[in-house]
Structures are given as structure tokens and as C-alpha cells.
Amino acid sequence: MTRPVAFLFLGETLLIPHLWPIAEALANEGVPVDAWVATSVHEALLTRWSAGLPVRIRRAPGFRRVDGPAGRNPPLPSKIPVLLRLLPRLLSARAVVCAEQTSLWLPRLFPWLRLPFVKTSHGVGSMSARDDPRRRAAALTLVPSERERATYLARGFAPERIVATGYVKAGFRQRSVTRPPFAADDRPTILYAPHWQRHRSSWWSWGEAVVRRIVADGRWNLIFAPHQRLLEGAPDIRMLMAELDRHPHVHCDADGFAMVDGSYTAAADLYLGDTSSQVIEFLIRPRPCVFLNPANIAWADDPAYAQWACGPVVDRLDDLLPTLAAAPAGHGAYAAIQARFAAESLGDASGDAPARAAAAIRAFLAGSGR
């Protein structure tokens, strides 16, 4: 019997759309897959999608049964103890595929086990932590674009270990929302998606004022769907969401899988944010973007803020509403920049990336003799 390829679904649900399409593509080619899950939320989603495929849904040590909405980002068991307890069970796999760096502690700490790890990207952008030493423990790293691949080669990674596949999430077929969640009207829809890290986020300085001004103005529908982890650092957002959700032109989401599966970036007409890489996903189809700079960062020559060239940057809160109102008419000045930036960042976003990622894993396994 062919040994399975193990996929680690041990982190936030935001990782699933970057990981599941590859597992699905391999399984569609007849490769057996073991999907290790940390919670009943992960288990329910993957069980539904894997029907009829050679996929075993397996509960990792420390598995938690969690009540709540399907897709809600659940409380997770501590990952390092889970990984250490899971390791003996992974030794029967041909390879292990993960979408986050914590799992790479295993090959970094235990390289003599000769268990190859494949790291696939989750998210893209100029702030990715490419210099983390755990990344060098991956036997194969899948990145979306040749530009991203070049950043690893410049750091001395072996060329054969870094493969550009295109943007895997663009091939995720299980989106929760296919149309904007509002009654039909002619108002354009803004997606506000602030980052979760305080030093990179607009939330703590301006966030509440931003959403209140947009809601009170009334010219736009608003989807307020921040990064999942923002709620961990700012739990009071839930009270604000409960208040704002009473408005028919506002949709707040703190728990739905639509926050992370690409539903809202596909549905919105205008993106409002700061440094989240979600904007690059939004720009698969170029549309107006506005960026918030409450700290007045001198960003123009800083490659970490390269995405801010894709739309106007607001340095004063009082300029927010005029900038949003002007953004559609001014989009022509940014459309070509956005298309180029998305293509360079994401590579191919046609939806074929999962098949290419699966092919890269199969070629790696054939070449390594595993």
C-alpha cells in the first residue's frame, strides 16, 4: 500500500484555503492523504469536502471538540506539544505538508529522521518573514510567484528546493459567500480588513472611527471582516460589531469561514486596509484600494509597503471619506500598477496552482525515492 502524504491542519482556519486545494489535487490523482486536524471545526469542514476521495481525516493528539459556527476560528491546542506527540505517527508518511512555520520545528530539531517537510505559502506580500531559520528545514518550499522565489534564492536557498506554483488559494473551490451579503441596492461595497499585529495595523489608532464614519455617511455598504487574530488582541470589537450589524448596509464577521476563504475579497468593490496581504488577493481583479497610515510612516521608499503604490494613502483621518468617494474615479491611475503588482506577487491566479503544487510534490517524492 502506498504510504500517505500527511497534511497538517493544526492552525487557524485561515490556513485551510492555502492547504486544502493541494491535498484535494493530490487525492484527485489517487495519492492517499492523511489530513491531521486539531479541532472539530477543521474536522467538519474537511470531512464534507473529502467525500469520495482517498483522504483520511485524522485527529491529532490534543484534538478539541469545539461548539460554535462552522468555520469559526476555534481555540487551538498548544501546537508544540501537539507536534511532539504527533511526530511518531507522521513517520509512516511519505512527506508532511504544512502552511505555517511552527510545524517546521520538527525537521529543524530532528533532521536525522529524514521525514521531508513541504512548506506552502499562506498569504503573500513584502512583510513575509523569509529569514526565519525554520524555513531552511523544509525539504521543499512552494511559493506563488517567481518574484517570491527570487527572494529565497537571494538568501542562498537551493533553487531546486523553491518552486513557484501560482497562488494556491485562487484554486479553493469551497467559498462560503458568492454574492455581497446585502439587499440589492446601488451602493458600492467597501471591505475593511485591518491587520492583527498592533505595529502593522490601523485598528488601534483609527479603526473604530473609520467604521463609524463610513456607517454614518451611508454612501457605502460595509463589510467589516478583520484578520481573525485581531479579535484575540482586541476582543471588545465584538461589542462594536453587534452594534453595527443592526444597520442593513453593514455586515460584520468575526467567526465565519467567509472571513478567510476569499468570499469577501471577491465580493467587495473597494478595499480599505493597512498592511494585510489580503489586498493582493483582492487585486486578482483590480479594483479601487485605499490604505490607512495613522502612524504617518514614510513608506514610499520602503519595500515593506510596496502594496501602498496600488492606491491612495490616507495620512489624516479627516481625509478618509473624501478619499473613498474619489477612489473609483481615480482608479485609472492605479489599475495597471495593481495588475502588475498582483501578477508579480501571486504568479498565476487562474486556479491551476493546486495542480502544479501537487505535481511539484509528486516530482519531489519521485526524485527523493520516498
Q: CB-side exposure of 340: number of CA atoms within 13 Å? A: 8
**Of 15, 11, 21, 74, residue with least CA distance to 357:** 21
DSSP character at residue 332:
G
Rg (CA), the chain: 21
Cα–Cα distance measured from residue 131 to residue 149, given in angstroms and rounded to the nearest whole number: 13
Instruction: Give the model's pLDDT for residue 127.
Output: 47
Confirm or reject CATH 3.40.1390.10 for domain 5-167+348-368, answering yes or no. Answer: no
Supply the pLDDT for residue 132: 79
**CA 116 to chain centroid:** 24
Residues in the chain: 370
List the chain pLDDT tens, one digit each, 370 residues: 589 999 999 998 989 999 999 999 999 999 999 999 999 999 999 999 999 999 999 999 999 998 866 667 788 899 999 999 999 999 999 999 999 999 999 999 999 988 999 999 886 654 455 677 889 999 999 999 998 899 899 999 999 999 999 999 999 998 887 677 787 678 999 999 999 888 889 999 999 999 999 999 999 999 998 887 888 888 899 999 999 989 999 999 888 888 889 899 999 999 999 998 889 899 999 999 999 999 999 999 898 899 999 999 999 999 999 999 999 999 999 999 999 999 988 999 988 999 999 999 999 999 864 4
In whole angstroms, give the CA distance from residue 299 to residue 322. Answer: 21
Locate the domains of the chain by residue range.
5-167+348-368, 189-346
The reply to whether 189-346 shares the fold of 5-167+348-368 is yes
Q: So what's the pLDDT on residue 129?
A: 55
Q: How far is CA 306 from CA 118, 216, 279, in A?
A: 28, 31, 12
Give me the pLDDT at residue 71, please: 61
User: What's the burial of 151, exposed, middle or buried (CB within 10 Å: 0-12/13-18/19+)?
Assistant: middle
As a whole number of Å, the end-to-end CA separation of the chain is: 13
Q: What residue has cell string 473529502?
A: 50
pLDDT value for 125: 54
Superfamily of domain 189-346 in the CATH hierarchy: Glycogen Phosphorylase B; (3.40.50.2000)
Q: Please, what's the b/e burial string for 40-71 (b: 16 or more CB within 10 A of its CB; e: otherwise)?
A: bbbbebbeebbeebebebbebbbbbebeeeeb
